[in-house]
Structure formats: C-alpha cells, structure tokens
Amino acid sequence: MTALALRLYHLFGYAAEPVVRRVLARRAARGREDPARLSERLGRAGRPRPAGPLVWIHASSVGESLSVLPLIARLRRDRPGLTVLVTTGTVTSARLMAERLPEGALHQYAPVDLPPAVAGFLDHWRPALGLIVESELWPNLLLAARRRGIPLALINARLSGRSARRWRRLRPLAAHLLRQFSLILAQSPEDEARLRALGAPDPRSLGNLKAAAPPLAADAAEVARLRAAIAGRPCWLAASTHPGEEPVVGAAHAALAADRPKLLTLLAPRHPDRGPEIAAALRAAGHRVALRSAGEPLAPETGIYVADTIGELGLWYRLAEIAFMGGSLVPKGGQNPLEPAKLDCAVLYGPHTANFARIAEGLCAAGAAARVSDAASLAAAVAGLLDDPAARAQAIAAGRTFAAAQAGVLDEVVAALAPLLERVSGSSVAPVAREAAR
C-alpha cells in the first residue's frame, strides 16, 4: 500500500507541474516568492556547482535556517574544503541567509517536491550528504536522494503531538520515509519518543540546536540612537506576535500606561507584512502608534512602536529588558525564548510553548521566565518586572546562565555527524543521469 501511494504521488507530481508553476507565479506577484529566482524552485540552479565535496542542508524557513548557522560555521571551520549548500523555501529566509552565511556556504531556494524539479536540483548539486532540519519529510526529495546513494540525516528533528497524531494515520508511510535517514537526532526526549513510535530507526535526543545559536545581531549605531530616544521611559517588548495576540498586547499596554504615562511598548510581529494592519487596529483602539516600516519616528508621545521589519529582533531585545514571546497566547507553539534570554531580557510567555517545551520549562524553573494567560496577567507580570529592578536583574542573570548551559548541544551534534562527515570529506561525487521521465 505504501509503495502504491508513493508511486501515485510521484506520478501526480508530473501532472501537477503546470498548476504548481501558476501557483508560484501568483505567490511571486504577492511577494511570497522571489520572481528573479523562481527557476530555482523548479530545480534549475542559479549558480554553478563548486568543485569538491558538498554538504546540503535543507531548512524550511527563518527559524530552522538560523538554527543551523552555528553548525555551518563549525563545518566550514573544521573542514575548509567542504562547500555547504543551504536550501530554504521563503523569501525572508533567503534574505537572512544572504546576510549571514559564512564564506564557502551558498543559498538556493528549495525545489518544490515534483519529480522533475527534484531531479534537476540533485543532478546539478550532487551533494555527498544531505542534512534535513526538523520535519521536512518531502517524499520525492527524500526518495530521489537515496536512489542516488546520498546519505541523509534528520537533524534537530521535531514532531509535535499534533503532527504525531496526524502521521499515525499514515504510519507505514511515515516509517518508510523515516527509514531513508541514516541518522536521526531529535530536539528532545519527547520528540525522540514520537519519532520512534512512528517507526524511526534509532532516533537520539541530543538537544535543540537553537540553543547553540549566537545572540541575534543588531546595528550598534541604531541601538544607540533608539536607546537615546527611549531614555528614561519604562519599556517592554512583545516579540514575534501572531494574529490574536496584538489586541492582548494593546490591552496590557493600556492597563500599564494608566499608571505609567511614559510607557513604551515595542511590538515586533512574527510576520512583518502584517505591520500596517496591526498599526491600524491599534490606532482604532485609541493607542498612539508609530510604524517602523513607514519611517514614523519613535517620538515621546509614541505609546506602541510597531517594529515591522525583517532581521531586527536583536535590536529590540537590546532595548527592552522584558520580552513577551509571541505564538504562546494562541496555539502556535511559541517562539524561541533563548533569544531574549541571551540578550539580557526577563522572559514572559503564554501557555502554548510546545515548540520549545523543555527550554520554556527550564527557564521557568531557573527563575528566568514566567507564564501569563491573558491581558491582565501579562500587564501584572510586566508591571512587577518594571517596578522591581532587583527582581528583573535576578531573572535576567538566571536566563543568561541557563542559556549558556545549553550551548554544548552543538558539540554533541557534530560528534554524532562525524562518521558521515568523514565519508564526505574524501568523497568525489560523480554526475548522475537524470531519472527517466516516467
């Protein structure tokens, strides 16, 4: 049954190509794809392949691609003759990779999971090893890579309870796809157990690579400029918010500002393109709002500053000693709370932190973070931290210590990958013939 389902999926990929082309074109018109690089999504490379062994790392989007930057830097440091190719699927992640990849590492858009696109991608790049990040189980891509003899590892693997329940209905298919990996490294014991229950061969839990990421960068001159503009004002940050959370942040701001007329709330939405919509809704609710993408200044009368820009979270964490992490008051699983902890913020989040469950619980246990449930509890938690500098400093110090203790995961992941990497370093990958059209 599994073989038949995969065969039908494979054949459907040929028939679906014209439809996928139209979908990509529409997404490009809306800014969701890069029009100049759409051919990469269809398997046509945007640059020549460098000589020598090449390791391919596939990450879905911003969070996943940022999480592997320390691993890429380590690979390039330890094996300078190795080229690292990173593939992602979003415009935002491509921009960030262009800024942050080290020398010797390249970015391409990931091919859509159609047989011709996958074949074109693999035929051109001929990776000696593929590292798939978190949960990107694309059947055509995985099976085509293994048919070419490319060893695969699933790293920083994550499988939420909700995803596990969905996959259980297709357990034979999930088990078949997971067996394509020579190595599976899970983020947590819970992820390891879920993967094992689906048939993953010998998954191991080494920890979350996001713990090894360096503190988010920021422009020092902009930090100084905005710090001068904020000087003397109580300030807190709502970071990576999702739809449904901005009204809660607005209500918390109103409650806090009743006793703190100079209060500044920084609000950085998870998807910056929502900035104008968020600003309009907050203004309609009576708040004094400035929108960063529109060039509106952070003025003394600004109550809420909507920071709707890409790649500037490191700036906002440096300006606020209190950070609420979005995606946690709504069931999105939460965002990475180690990012603010590394940049000297006391951390708050809601009940939905499944994406970082162990880290969130660890931060709470260390006294570095606290949970909130609604606007009233969010306002109360922020007020307590604003009004008690000693408690705030204690939470910040605890977060810094906890974050530093997690960084050893990178060494463990590199050690686990060593046998595969040893084979890659001396490999000479020959071109392969394109698969038959059908």
Segment 187-222, tens digit of pLDDT: 999 999 999 999 999 999 999 999 998 899 999 999
Strands 152-157 and 264-269: unpaired
Any idea which of 173-177, 380-384, 388-392, 422-426 has the lowest mean pLDDT?
A: 422-426
Do residues 270 and 371 both lie within one domain? yes
With CA atoms as reference, report the closest residue to 24 among 132, 122, 110, 119: 110
Specify if 12 maps to a domain.
no
The parent domain of residue 323 ranges over 220-405
Do residues 72 and 136 both lie within one domain? yes
Cβ neighbors of 418 (< 8 A, separation 6 or more) are none
> Would you state the pLDDT for residue 1?
59
Q: What is the DSSP letter of 303?
A: S
List own/partner pairs for 162-166 with CB under 8 A and 24 or more apart: 163/135, 164/194, 164/197, 164/198
Give the strand order in the sheet containing 183-186.
105-109, 83-88, 54-58, 129-133, 152-157, 183-186, 204-205
> Would you state the pLDDT for residue 110?
97
Residue listed under structure tokens 């010797």: 104
> Would you state the pLDDT for residue 436?
35
pLDDT at residue 431 above 70?
no
Specify if 20 maps to a domain.
no
Chain segment 412-430, per-residue pLDDT in tens: 999 999 999 998 865 544 4
Average confidence (pLDDT) over 258-264: 97
Q: Are 404 and 368 in contact (CB under 8 A)?
A: no
Do residues 131 and 240 both lie within one domain? no
pLDDT band with cut points at 50, 70 and 90 for residue 438: very low
Written as six digits, the tokens of 63 are: 């969070």
> Would you state the pLDDT for residue 425?
66
Q: 396: domain CATH number? A: 3.40.50.2000
Number of domains in the chain: 2
With CA atoms as reference, report the closest residue to 372 among 422, 409, 318, 322: 322
pLDDT at residue 406 above 50?
yes
Any idea which of 1-15, 35-49, 272-286 has the lowest mean pLDDT?
A: 1-15
Do residues 379 and 234 both lie within one domain? yes
Specify if 433 maps to a domain.
no
pLDDT at residue 433 above 90?
no
Average confidence (pLDDT) over 271-290: 97
Do residues 232 and 341 both lie within one domain? yes
pLDDT at residue 270 above 90?
yes
Do residues 229 and 174 both lie within one domain? no
> Known catalytic residues?
64
Do residues 281 and 174 both lie within one domain? no
Do residues 148 and 276 both lie within one domain? no
Do residues 308 and 184 both lie within one domain? no
Do residues 121 and 192 both lie within one domain? yes
Q: 126: domain CATH number? A: 3.40.50.11720
Do residues 198 and 306 both lie within one domain? no
More confident residue, 228 or 433: 228
**pTM of the full predicted structure?**
0.84
CB atoms within 10 A of CB 236: 28
